[in-house]
Structure 1
Amino acid sequence: MPLRAPSCAGCLPPKPPSRSPAALGWWTSARTAVDAIERYLMHFVPADGDSVASEFEDLADLFEQAAADGKPIREIVGDDPVEFVEAFAQNYTKGGYVPDREPKRLINTVERAAGEDTGRDGMVR
């Protein structure tokens, strides 16, 4: 299994640039979404050390810019977070195997991070 770079969430500052409740709420949700994206990338998308370092840096840049622009999470990842992650990863990898439950897990986590009430507990067992 290839080595992975440090997490992207670790690339993001631990606290939002603004202490307003809206900024804090967005930042907390964004970190949840980034953690879910990272988990999916680290476990199910093969990559070498060089490409994964670039991958995480670019993901951090994407979310930092979105924070600066005040973009909602859904504007970043779109309606289908699995499609977003797989398209994002294609810039850095050559494919891989993803178990059936993991796309559902990613979707549920991003839905929660985006503040959507899905009626699901978000866990896939």
Structure 2
Amino acid sequence: MNFWETITGSDLTRDYKAFEARAAALPADHRAAWDQIKGHLFHYSDFTGRNLMPIFDGVLGLLEETAADGQDIHEVLGDDIPGFCAALAGETGGRSFRDRWREQLNRNVAKKLGRLGG
């Protein structure tokens, strides 16, 4: 990865397109699970999404292997895809960027209210 790719994010676009091409070869139920997983994992993304690329690669590899083995998607992931994604992103209850922003907003509001009341 060179400086230009880092700045523009073109490497992320290329990787994401490659993931989508791999996902297109999956059976329908595995593709549906892939779409749900992507939606839930983006909540744990940093500003660029760069931190999710290795996770996406691992999840897609898991889906490809289970599809090749003929396993049902519910055998692999269960019914709790949000919980599965939380476990992948760290720990269940792991902090996301929304949690950090919420805490920062609460601190800022508390400071403002403290100044107004004093």
Coarse TM-score class (shorter-chain normalised): 0.5 to 0.7
More helix by share: 2
Task: Tell me the TM-score normalized by structure 2.
Answer: 0.56
- Contact map agreement 1:9 1:34 (CA 8 A) in 2: no
Residue in 1 that maps onto 2:63: 63
Q: How has the CA–CA distance of structure 1 residues 61 and 32 changed in structure 2, closer, same or farther, with 3 Å as cutoff? A: same
Residue in 2 that maps onto 1:12: 22
How far off its partner does 1:68 sit? 1.2
Secondary structure of the residue aligned to 1:71 is coil
Structure number with greater CO (CA < 8 Å, separation at least 6) is 1
How far off its partner does 1:7 sit? 6.4
User: RMSD over aligned Cα, in angstroms?
Assistant: 2.7
Amino acid at match of 2:78: G
Q: How has the CA–CA distance of structure 1 residues 79 and 14 changed in structure 2, closer, same or farther, with 3 Å as cutoff? A: closer
Corresponding position: 1:87 with 2:83: no
How far off its partner does 1:79 sit? 3.1
Moved segments of 4+, more than 6 Å: none
- Contact map agreement 1:45 1:89 (CA 8 A) in 2: yes
- Once residues 87 and 36 of structure 1 are traced to their aligned partners in structure 2, the CA distance between those partners, rounded to angstroms, is 15
- Once residues 65 and 55 of structure 1 are traced to their aligned partners in structure 2, the CA distance between those partners, rounded to angstroms, is 15
Task: Tell me the TM-score normalized by structure 1.
Answer: 0.53
Amino acid at match of 1:90: G
- Once residues 8 and 38 of structure 1 are traced to their aligned partners in structure 2, the CA distance between those partners, rounded to angstroms, is 14
- Once residues 18 and 44 of structure 2 are traced to their aligned partners in structure 1, the CA distance between those partners, rounded to angstroms, is 15
Residue in 2 that maps onto 1:75: 75
Instruction: Could you tell me which runs of 5 or more consecutive residues in structure 2 were left unpaired when the two chains were aligned.
Output: 1-8, 100-118
How far off its partner does 1:51 sit? 2.6
Corresponding position: 1:36 with 2:36: yes
How far off its partner does 1:85 sit? 1.1
Q: How has the CA–CA distance of structure 1 residues 7 and 35 changed in structure 2, closer, same or farther, with 3 Å as cutoff? A: farther
- Contact map agreement 2:45 2:51 (CA 8 A) in 1: no
- The number of residues matched between the two structures is 82
